Structure 1
């Protein structure tokens, strides 16, 4: 379980440019839940993800994962339990390295499990089996440079690398926003499947209303650093595109 208790984050405190990005926010994400977060630009969505991931620290409040306080742990330590996928598919992979070498780097960032295996037969088999889960035929392209793949393929592989070391929480920061509609849908379907199959607790930030309605079992809206709407699965099911649009002056 991931809990945020009375979290506040202010940038440029006591200056003319002061911004209270997150205000006394409390949020509880149940194990194996899939929550979708929407909000206008500047509502605090990205700051919230940064606070959970450890990219920035809260000024006040507590963040607990499985009952343990993690709000002062740096991001590299939290990455053992918390994985994050960004909007730009180029950020999650090294273009000049092979697919296999990218998986090797991802494994080493979070675990010492594969330190002595290099990219030998055992590791290659492990990666091939993982990649086959995508259903994209990429298990036959492990020696291919990552930069020769499409944005959708790279983002799908980034998703897989993020969860391959058994993280508990997956943060999805607009993972389909930079993709064409077909690739975006494919990546989101893969994400949805991995979340279910790996029993992850997931938090998706999106500006895409169709995604907000299609995925997840909870929908929350942020505004001015606060949660202003919170719909559980049953309430979310009766929402439509027009209802969500009405929440915003612009989206």
Structure 2
């Protein structure tokens, strides 16, 4: 369970340019839940993910994961339980390293025996088998530099790497924003499968109304740093595209 209790974050506090990015947000997310967060630019969506991941700290409030306070922990400590996929495919992988070495780095996140990981055939075979599930033929290119792959391929591999060492929470920060429509569909279907197969708690931030309606078991709309709408599975399933579009002036 992930609990956000009265979380507030203000940038440039005390100045004329002050912006309350997240304003007294409280929400509870159950293990295995898949929540989609939608909202206009500047509504606080990505800031909320930053606060959960530890990329920035809340001014007020608490964040608890499985009952443990994590809001004071730096991002590198939270990475043992929380992984994030960014909208830019370049951010989730090391371009100059091979596919196999990228997976080795991902596996180091929780292993105390880091010197052994990835140096034997068993690890290579495990990575190859996992990549084969993507259906992209990349299992035959383990030694190919990551930087030579397409954005969609890199995002798909990033998703697989997030579960190499196990985690509790997967944060998806507009993971298809930089992809063409076909690649975007492939990446979202892969993400959905990985989330379901591993029983992950997931949060997806998106501007895409189709993605917001198709994926997830819960839909939250943010506006002005607050949660404006909060739909559970049943209420979400009753929504239609036109209704969600009507929430936003920018569409």
Category of TM-score, reference length = shorter chain = over 0.9
Q: Report the alpha carbon displacement of residue 202 of structure 1 after superposing the two structures with TM.
A: 0.2
Query: Distance between the aligned counterparts of 2:29 and 2:117, measured in 1?
Result: 36
CA distance in 2, matches of 1:111, 1:11: 36
Query: What is the alpha-carbon distance in structure 1 between the residues aligned to residue 112 and residue 246 of structure 2?
Result: 49
Secondary structure class of the residue paired with 2:36: strand
Aligned to 1:28: 28
Deviation >4 Å, runs of 4+: none
* SS at structure 1 position matched to 2:89: coil
Q: How many correspondences in the alignment?
A: 251
1:162 to 2:151 alignment: no
Q: Give matches, 1:13-92, under 5 Å.
A: 13-92=13-92
Q: Report the Cα distance in structure 1 between the residues aligned to 2:250 and 2:98, rounded to whole angstroms.
A: 42
Rounded Cα–Cα distance in structure 1 between residues aligned with 2:242 and 2:55:
35
* Contact 1:38/1:212 (8 A) holds in 2: yes
SS at the partner of 1:128? helix
1:111 aligned counterpart, secondary structure: coil
Partner in structure 1 of residue 147 of structure 2? 147
**Contact between 1:100 and 1:119, CA under 8 Å: does it hold in 2?**
no
Contact 2:62 2:69 in 1 (8 A): yes
Segments of structure 2 that go 5 or more residues without pairing to the other structure are none
Deviation at 1:164, TM superposition (A): 1.4
CA apart distance, 1:115: 2.6
What per-residue deviation string (whole Å, max 9, x for no partner) do you get for residues 54-110 of structure 1?
A: 000111111000000000000000000000000011111111211001111122234
- For residues 65 and 230 of structure 1, the distance between their equivalents in structure 2, rounded to whole angstroms, comes to 21
Q: Partners in 2 of 1:165 and 1:185 — Cα distance?
A: 26
- Report the CA distance between 1:120 and its aligned residue: 2.3
> Following TM superposition, by how much is the alpha carbon of 1:45 offset from its aligned partner in structure 2, in angstroms?
0.4
Q: Which residue of 2 aligns with 1:205?
A: 205
CA distance in 2, matches of 1:143, 1:225: 44
3-state SS in 2 of match to 1:94: coil
| C-alpha displacement of 1:18 | 0.5
Q: What per-residue deviation string (whole Å, max 9, x for no partner) do you get for residues 140-189 of structure 1? A: 11011111211111100011111211111000000011000000000000
TM-score normalised by structure 1 residue count: 0.97
Question: CA offset at residue 123 of structure 1?
Answer: 1.5
Find the aligned partners of 2:76 and 2:57 in 1 and give their Cα distance: 13
Flag structure 1 segments of 5+ consecutive residues without an equivalent.
none
Residues 98-113 of structure 1 mapped to structure 2, 5 A cutoff: 98-113=98-113
Tell me by how many angstroms 1:129 deviates.
2.0
> Cα distance, 1:113 vs. partner?
4.2
CA distance in 1, matches of 2:190, 2:129: 15
Q: Secondary structure at the match of 1:90?
A: helix
RMSD over aligned Cα, in angstroms?
1.1
